[in-house]
Amino acid sequence: MSGNITLTMIKPDAVKNNYIGAILAKINEAGFKIKAMKYTKLSVEQAREFYAVHKDRPFYNDLVEFMTSGPIVAAILEKENAVEDFRKLIGATNPADAEEGTIRKLYAESMQNNAVHGSDSDENANIEANFHFSKTERF
Ligand code: ATP
Ligand code: MG
């Protein structure tokens, strides 16, 4: 059965480029409800933990540096089939490969500075939601 939440982060590039409003509008238009949201900045330790699955990849240190370079918006989004539908809405990791109309096609700068994060499984959606939010921060 597919789950109904996913975790997103509007990454430092999109915050810097003033795309928070445009990206949230896309998210709402696509039928996602916001269950939790915060404007925050990841510490190096938090970013290393969040992307620990990539710790042996050549881009890991740069990714951690980028993700801690400025504030982000983290949010739990709710919708039927949330993980898969949100990944469709954001498009491919590399914006050059992302479909027209997707968030990354519209707002990303590069493969690394790709505007948004989206969970890749229901299991990770729950882990990532718990990483950013307590129970009392969810509505
Ligand atoms: P995310 O997990 O942020 O939603 P994704 O699932 O599309 O992105 P992953 O493979 O999980 O892609 O990579 C995590 C992030 O690491 C990417 O979103 C991007 O910011 C960065 N990244 C991935 N591959 C590369 C690469 N080859 N070069 C530079 N940065 C990369
Ligand atoms: Mg990923």
Stated pTM of the model: 0.97
Residue 71 has pLDDT above 60, yes or no: yes
Q: What are phi and psi of 39, to 5 degrees?
A: -100, 120
Is residue 139 in some structural domain? no
Residue 63 in contact with ligand 1 by CB distance below 6 A: yes
Ligand number with the minimum distance to the CA of 72: 1
Domain that holds residue 74: 5-134
**pLDDT tens digits along 23-70:** 999 999 999 999 999 999 999 999 999 999 999 999 999 999 999 999
Ligand number with the minimum distance to the CA of 8: 1
- Mean predicted lDDT score pLDDT of the chain: 97
Is residue 63 in some structural domain? yes
pLDDT given at position 138 = 97
22 Rama sector, left if φ>0, alpha if ψ -120 to 50, beta otherwise = alpha
Contact 71, 38 (CB under 8 A): no
Closest Cα to atom 22 of ligand 1 = 112
Q: How many domains does the chain have?
A: 1
**Active-site residue, 117 included:** yes
Report the CATH number that the domain containing residue 107 is assigned in CATH. 3.30.70.141
